[in-house]
Amino acid sequence: MPEGDTVYRTAINLDRALSGRALTRCDLRVPAFATVDLSGRTVNEVVSRGKHVLVRTDDFTIHSHLKMEGSWHTYQHGSAWRRPEWQARAILANVDWVAVGFQLGTLDVVARSDESSVVGYLGPDLLGPDWDPAEALRRLTADPARPVGLALLDQRVMAGLGNVYRNELCFLSGVLPTRRVGDIDQPQKLVDLAHRLLDANKNRATRSTTGKLRGATDWVSRRDGKACYRCGATVRRGQLGEDDLQLRDTYWCPHCQT
Q: Return d(Cα 103, Cα 2) in angstroms, integer.
A: 13
> Which pLDDT value is given to residue 152?
97
* pLDDT, tens digit (0-9, with 9 covering 90-100), for 145-176: 999 999 999 999 999 999 999 999 999 999 99
Domains of the chain: 4-119 (3.20.190.10), 133-252 (1.10.8.50)
CA distance 92 to 84: 16
- Amino acid sitting at position 69: E
pLDDT given for residue 134 in this prediction: 98
Are 178 and 197 in contact by the 8 Å Cβ rule? The answer is: no
CA neighbor of 182 nearest in space, from 141, 151, 219: 141
Residue 2, pLDDT score: 86
In this prediction the pTM is 0.94
Among the listed residues 202, 217, 164, the one whose alpha carbon sits nearest the alpha carbon of residue 6: 202
Query: Which residues, 6+ apart, have CB-to-CB distance to 138 below 8 Å?
Result: none
For the chain, residues with pLDDT lower than 70 are 1
pLDDT at 243: 79
Whole-angstrom CA distances from 247 to 35, 70, 158, 186 are 36, 20, 19, 27
Which residues belong to the active site?
Answer: 2-3, 51, 248
Calpha distance 70→103 (Å, rounded): 5
CB 217 within 8 A of CB 207: yes
Q: Tell me, what's the pLDDT at 246? A: 84
pLDDT on residue 172:
98
Q: Alpha carbon of 90 to those of 33, 46, 66, 77, 189: distances in Å?
A: 10, 15, 12, 16, 40
Quick check: 169 and 181 in contact, CB under 8 A?
A: no
Long-range contacts of 196-204 (CB under 8 A, 24+ apart): 197/165, 197/168, 197/169, 198/3, 198/4, 198/5, 198/8, 198/126, 198/127, 198/160, 198/161, 198/165, 199/126, 199/127, 201/5, 202/5, 202/8, 202/9, 202/127, 203/9, 204/5
Residues 6+ apart with CB under 8 A from 34: 28
